[in-house]
Structure 1
């Protein structure tokens, strides 16, 4: 060894007792963070219901949920008793599938933890006195972690001079058996959960009837068919059903720009009125009635009259003595001249001119695009259309299930297919570049885990840390795990922004893309790169050796997994005990609220303050899948029982944290179809493959080559199962089987129930009356809201009609406040509300 190596004695990283101090330090930090966040949530929850009960107060779908007591811990038993049927009825399929993943993980890792404690812990304890790679107690043990990067690396050379100290590798057969057992358990639980989700999904979607369930998205429409009547005739000639309506997407960009400018002027006018009338008092927003969706077309004459009546009456003269606000307008050559004018008069006039322009623009004809939304007269007709090939020419008349009208990103419907492909490939290439960029901070974090790597860069710091065990534990474990966790929180925002720039048609597609992108980051950068390559100085040599001999990356991965056992144990501990309570606390919303509250001026601003935050599955699901994979990879190793225990805690805490948020606190408004489940399953199978490769490498490192070879058949079996899953189960997670669709006007009977033998326990989850989507999508149409939506009036706070000693005060909707189509509710303002924080 070199001099540096001699100064850096290695301890056995496979022995959990060597990292007890690091785990104790991490446990104290995590408990301090988590307990403070949890107690803060319990204290604030009954006092800040506009945040922590926002969905319960503002969503009709949540009205049937049980009320949570205002006591400190009284909400916990009530939340525990909320059933799957109530989750499905209140939050829909997406929430049900998301929570089902956590429930499956709890059952799986509970069984694996018991097996590890009962069988694997005694086996590992019995053999822990034997020499292992990297153990400083064995002077002949090679430094495999460093030797893997050498050109002259040979596996047999590791044992030169140590023939008499070869370890008893009989426990490798136990590792082999449990690799098969745990792989089988995962397949069993995943298949069982998939069958249940498929049956629930088929029953749920087969029983509801919304416009979205009857609508197809038809892309690649040729020029000769780009009219509503021609598309209708074409589809009806195919005899798959009758067409109820057709909406050709046209290039409405000019109209969209006008409406965007109108929204800006409207806010300016509201701010001017607020300056004139004074800042609103402490108020809160509550829904009273559901408005028609902007896609619902009104009577033409009534709609036009409504559009022209866009201000608060004809006479805006007030009796207030307060001077009216002014604004500076620029005019003349190159806008070099300016003068001050009455702000209210100016913005009212600008709004009036814009309204006239918009009314005229709505009557114009716009160029048709190759995209159309076709609503069929029945769900079976829609399902037959999307499951069939409509045209023999490639890329023409491709039918897919349509997103909900409110979920459509209309500005992306104007893009050509080539434009969307260019955007998609550009973002994909940029993400690949980002992946290389992330290697630098991730490799730097990996260096902190190893004191010898710190010594190479900063010897004085390494000496100081070596003499202070607690500080060393904080730097080597606490700091890297915290930074990695913060990266997992921050990076999804970047990928969410990039996904929104790819030109996808719906927010649902964006959500699934964010899940995929964020998982790629967490799995590749946080796990594979962090584990396999370590510090940046080792990245290129290891990569070169891996190209020469693919088996070396397996050995490298297997050894590094053992070396980083304590780090990943602490990572899961921090995620479960330390950071999940902060998700429950909604720390981001709490910390930003004072800033946004200070910036709020108009009634519209105050209404937006109390809108429920949106639950984004792409932000939370990838981290949970990564922890699932980590628990699997470490399940058999000596540290496996600790990893499984903390992983079990993560999924238990995560289940109830996200259950509360999905049901009571956060909104998730798109059409729920449970599309995330196959993505979860495929990524679990990727984790299974990594687990099997790691176990084969670990067994081979103990020179038990027969057992290592017997692990390898699991890899093609996993690949075969993924293929089988894609053929047998995935179509049922995308489409609705025709036998599952219930007869018209009889939602309690479907053909499948007659002789198909559906599971009665699953059948109990069938909705009682109307589903979340049926309630939300009532009256919707596939129309760009900028084409038909009423031109809303400004929201101005005026004197209330009556005071009632702190009771609710309803403002006159006709003369004072008109609802925003973006919020979708009429508004009630209450003075002295519960905004106490």
Structure 2
């Protein structure tokens, strides 16, 4: 990373843990965004809660079970059973202690939830105030646009005349289904063309004087020289000779490739039929060059045609964030479903192929997806029930009697069979679900990637809660319950009171397995190593393949949130049934905090941020978990024949519901929108240009004394460059530390948020673009044609290695479009940056240390010309023709040299020619148009 680089960690076995924990919250916000910080705050809340609860559980509840329980009962078979509430006698007065601590645990949960809610609101407000000038904060998404407003100008004019603020721009989304297909085909043809060059020259290319930038420069100038030579053909031999000499220099470079590599290079061939297995062999470079050139021409013409149908969805960007806040919270149009306005997603977050789905189609999709989800919920019961029966000794005795007999002699084997195997089976089986839910989210027509993550979060958590907690608990005892119901119908209540808590050992093992095994394995990234290792060895051929394979993944909050949240609810539910689980729950969240914090800072890439929206989904689910916990305790007290305690639990449910309602009434609106007062206070603190000039002219006036120095220096604008951010970084860090260490009252917290956001420079510094090549300007030989394109909002900078130099960003967000330049709302298929031809990299010398490409070789997205006149399709064609002509010229020189050698051998007194023989490929296909044209032009 170039900016906001996380501190380097020690490379010792465990020495990196303490420095990682010491990284403060402000660094986390700057480096990984608010989504990650909010998730870590939830984990910290769980650590605090379960650490406090585990103290009371170990000191108070466990001694009660050990000293007052009846351990001679038949259902007490393990040490964990002796520590649970199960061992207490029916109607024992010791159950009163469990009621008291249930109230205590619930009120501690209320306290930490309220504290975490306020912390979230403070962080979110501070974060949004710092981003108030960015595009997403000043924009809204409009759905249900009437036909008369379905142009950019009409939509902008409509919102301009509403009187809520100046409109900066408006964009109505277009239908581009055919263009998406062309972009995918173009990207596929380009990938195959790059593979052909990699097969021909090798990647890395071992030729000493190989230079991909020089080759592409030659290809770009090749056509210009040919046109110039034809234009001045009658002007004299001198000019013709000069151009011929220059052209010879251009074509000699590819011609020297075979000679310098020390081996005979054979042009790759391919069968263009069905999956490359049928048809006559053709030259691979020529075939994919023509295919790519044709698709590139079609893409460029389609993008410039402007003949796209307008949809009923658009984006409006205002000059100020306050206008967007007002527009997203008021009724815009009196007609039903017209001009529904909401806060806009980031441009990189938008799923443009789902935005264009119409309302009726979206409704049908949502209905079908939810129907599939409900059916999946019921069908998933059967495998989970099968796994749960493995925890029953009676079931194992009937199915695997020999295995049970062997386990009786080995306590370790018995623990593995009854504890580890069912837990692993459930975890593996449930890991399939996120993939299904992600696919359902795309089918459902959800408009943003973050919204799909939220939908996956919702569905996946429901599955985990329903199948792992409820179904597993019931299914593990259902067989025995039915048998007892038939034989002794009056004993059902006693049976449920003793068998339902009997599943607690499984969930203790589940928590231990998650915390001690599965979560630490996240640091090893076994899945990524296996997948990427296989791809690297067997599938990667070109520099783009290697760069794409090494692109950092983004953290999937839809999969990452449900597992810790489920553990939170499990630990809370069994906190009084088996208090030892509180200790393992605290350990689990401590390990989870370390693993997730490391992954956020050093492993995963943040392509977009949802401003911590997931907390709005976490809070109500914690409340649901608390109600399940309270209902469980009511049933347990009733079944333990202490009905009074069960009745005394009912007020706690009422208190929990009231707590949820009060928190929603107090904070829900502020969770969805930034309070206008904070934005107003920030604007009032910013100096005007007149005030800034006045302070500059007067060295020390009373205005300077009344205005904070950080505000008097420079107002926070979008035009702040990298250098200003770097110069002020130390001052901003000191200021952030003072803010965090200040008083914690509510009024001071909001004032600090406003003050910090006002004095802080823009969170997203603007990159400094290099000078672009204007149309018609000659390309200098010192300029690099194949520039590196970096993600504008990206701090990551990869170091070139042996097989790739990371010249271009990957294509992870939109097929056929580079992940760069998303600074405005518009379908990337229309305004995105197209990938360019990426030749093999040069093989580094022995012992050479590769460095990142310098700033002169980077090119901003605004400087890339996607017009047909400078398209990469013509560039690829020029390169192929130049290469063919070079090979043809080399063959002529080789034939002339051989003729000369034969003449010298037959004559006397002749000296040998000192011109080297360049070995060329004689297996080239001569029947392709490129080959014919170049052979005819050969000198």
Q: Same fold (TM over 0.5)?
A: yes
Q: Is the 8 A contact 1:329 1:338 kept in 2?
A: yes
Mapped to 2, the partners of 1:118 and 1:816 lie a distance apart of: 63
Deviations 1:129-153 (A, max 9, x none): 288795699xxxxxxx9xxxxxxxx
Could you tell me how far 1:229 is from its partner in structure 2?
2.0
1:194 and 2:194 matched: no
The structure 2 residue matched to 1:377, chosen from 313, 319, 322, is 319
CA–CA separation in structure 2 for the residues paired with 1:514 and 1:543: 40
Aligned partner of residue 405 in structure 1, secondary structure: coil
For the 8 Å contact 2:200–2:268, the answer to whether it is kept is yes
Quote the Cα distance in structure 2 between the aligned partners of 1:647 and 1:821: 53
Which residue is 1:743 aligned to?
683
- For residues 422 and 754 of structure 2, what CA distance do their matches in structure 1 show? 47
Distance (Å, rounded) in 1 between the aligned partners of 2:279 and 2:862: 33
**Counterpart for residue 676 of structure 1:** 614
1:697 counterpart SS class: helix
SS of 2:115 mapped into structure 1: helix
- Find the aligned partners of 1:339 and 1:73 in 2 and give their Cα distance: 60
Deviation at 1:560, TM superposition (A): 4.5
Tell whether 2:341 aligns with 1:399.
yes
The answer on 1:268 being equivalent to 2:200 is no
Question: Partner of 2:458 in structure 1?
Answer: 516
What displacement does 1:779 show? 7.2
Any conservation in 1 of the 2:833–2:861 contact (CA below 8 Å)?
Answer: no
Which residue of structure 1 lines up, in the alignment, with residue 97 of structure 2? 174
1:807 aligns with 2:849: yes
Paired residues of 2:172 and 2:311 also in contact (CA < 8 A): yes
Q: Give the equivalent residue in structure 2 for 1:256.
A: 180
- Could you tell me which of 555, 568, 573 is aligned with 2:512? 573
Residue 832 of structure 2 is aligned to residue 789 of structure 1: yes
1:632 aligns with 2:556: no
Query: CA 1:645 to 1:512, structure 2 compared with 1: closer, same or farther past 3 Å?
Result: same
- 1:758 correspondence with 2:749: yes
CA distance in 2, matches of 1:521, 1:337: 47
Mapped to 2, the partners of 1:323 and 1:812 lie a distance apart of 34
Residues 88-99 of structure 1 aligned to structure 2 (within 5 Å): 88-99=29-40
Partner residue, 2:63: 122
Q: Partner residue of 1:602?
A: 542
- Residue 366 (structure 1) shift: 0.8
Aligned ranges 1:687-726 → 2 under 5 Å: 687-726=625-664
Task: Give the Cα–Cα distance (whole angstroms) in 2 for the partners of residues 227 and 166 of structure 1.
Answer: 75
Q: 5 Å matches for 1:100-115? A: 100-115=41-56
Q: Secondary structure at the match of 1:776?
A: coil
Distance 1:744 1:439, change over 3 A: same
Task: Give the secondary-structure state (helix, strand or coil) at the position aligned to 2:414.
Answer: helix
Bigger Cα displacement from structure 2, 230-239 vs 246-255? 230-239
Change over 3 Å in CA distance of 1:755–1:661 after alignment to 2: closer
Equivalent residue, structure 2, for 1:449 = 391
Q: For the structure 1 residues 497 and 745, does the alpha-carbon distance in structure 2 shift closer, same or farther, using more than 3 Å as the test?
A: farther
Q: Does 1:645 align with 2:583?
A: yes
CA distance in 2, matches of 1:199, 1:703: 47
**Cα drift, residue 277 of structure 1:** 0.7
Q: Which moved more, 1:705-714 or 1:805-814?
A: 805-814
- Counterpart of 2:155 (choices 231, 236, 250) is 231
Structure 1 portions without partners, runs of 5+: 1-58, 138-144, 146-164, 283-304, 306-312, 545-551, 823-837
Would you say the 8 A contact 1:214–1:376 is kept in 2? yes
Is the 8 Å Cα contact of residues 532 and 560 (structure 1) preserved in structure 2?
no
Deviation at 1:653, TM superposition (A): 0.6
Q: Equivalent residue for 1:410?
A: 352
Residues 52-105 of structure 1: per-residue CA shift (max 9 Å, x gap): xxxxxxx44542x21122333332222121011111111110011010001000
Verify the 8 A CA contact 1:269 1:343 in the aligned structure 2.
Answer: yes
Match of 1:563 among 474, 477, 502: 502
- Tell me the CA shift for residue 222 of structure 1: 1.6
Give a deviation string over 1:641-699, Cα, whole Å, max 9, x none. x2011110100010011000001111121124000111111111010000000111111
1:163-562 aligned at under 5 Å gives the runs 167-208=90-131, 209-280=133-204, 318-319=255-256, 320=258, 321-330=264-273, 338-362=279-303, 363-534=305-476, 559-562=498-501
CA shift in 2, pair 1:764/1:490, >3 Å? farther
Quote the residue 2:719 is aligned against: none
Q: Within the alignment, does 1:583 sit opposite 2:574 as a pair? A: no
Counterparts of 1:538 and 1:392 in 2: how far apart (Å)? 62
Q: Do the aligned partners of 1:130 and 1:167 also contact (CA within 8 Å) in 2?
A: no
Q: Specify the alignment match of 2:695 in structure 1.
A: none
Shift of the alpha carbon at 1:336? Answer: 12
Deviation readout 1:187-212 (Å, 9 max, x if unpaired):
11001110111011112102222101
SS at match of 1:238: coil
Does the aligned pair in 1 maintain the 2:347–2:822 contact within 8 Å? no
Q: 1:263 to 1:557 in 2, by over 3 A?
A: farther
Structure 1 residue matching 2:440: 3-state secondary structure: helix
CA contact (8 A) 1:249 1:368 kept: yes
- Normalization by structure 2: what TM-score? 0.68
Pairwise CA RMSD of aligned residues?
3.7
Tell me what 2:670 maps to: 732
Residues 353 and 318 (structure 1), Cα distance of their counterparts in 2 relative to 1, 3 Å cut: farther
SS in 2 for 1:792: coil
Q: Deviations over 1:464-511 (max 9, x none)?
A: 434443322211111011112223433222222222322111101011
Match of 1:619 in 2: 559
Conserved? CA contact 1:219–1:398, under 8 Å: yes
Shift in alpha-carbon separation, 1:360–1:127, aligned structure 2, 3 A: same
> Shift of residue 726 of structure 1?
2.7
Distance 1:808 1:131 in 2: 71
Q: How many Å separate the matches in 2 of 1:716 and 1:543? A: 34
Look up the SS of the partner of 1:564 in the other structure. Answer: helix
Count of matched residue positions in the alignment of Structure 1 and Structure 2: 693
Taking a change above 3 Å as real, the CA distance of residues 213 and 763 of structure 1, as seen in their structure-2 partners, is closer
Measure, in 1, the Cα distance between the counterparts of 2:515 and 2:755. Answer: 32
> 1:699/1:623 Cα in 2 relative to 1: closer, same or farther (>3 Å)?
same
Structure of greater relative contact order (alpha carbons < 8 Å, 6+ residues apart): 1
Q: 1:122 to 1:445 in 2, by over 3 A?
A: same
CA contact (8 A) 1:250 1:368 kept: yes
Cα separation, 1, equivalents of 2:315 and 2:430: 37
Report deviation, 1:237.
2.2
Contact 1:603/1:796 (<8 A) preserved: yes
- Rounded Cα–Cα distance in structure 1 between residues aligned with 2:352 and 2:793: 19
Unaligned 5+ residue runs, structure 2? 79-85, 207-223, 225-248, 259-263, 487-491, 688-709, 716-738, 767-791, 795-820, 865-939
Within the candidate set 780, 790, 795, 2:823 is matched to 780
Q: Is the 8 A contact 1:558 1:694 kept in 2?
A: no
Give yes or no for contact 1:798–1:816 (8 Å, CA) kept in 2. no
Tell whether the 8 Å contact from 1:248 to 1:369 is kept in structure 2 after alignment: yes
1:770 aligns with one of 757, 762, 767:
762
Shift of 1:265: 0.5
Displacement of 1:556 in angstroms is 8.4
Query: C-alpha displacement at 1:118, in angstroms?
Result: 2.3
- The range that moved more, 335-344 or 82-91, is 335-344
Against the structure 1 CA distance between its residues 136 and 465, is the aligned structure 2 distance closer, same or farther, given a 3 Å change threshold?
A: closer
What is the TM-score of this pair, normalised by structure 1?
Answer: 0.76
2:531 aligned residue: 592
Task: After TM superposition, give the deviation of residue 175 of structure 1 in Å.
Answer: 1.9
In structure 2, C-alpha distance between the alignment counterparts of 1:614 and 1:661, rounded to whole Å: 10
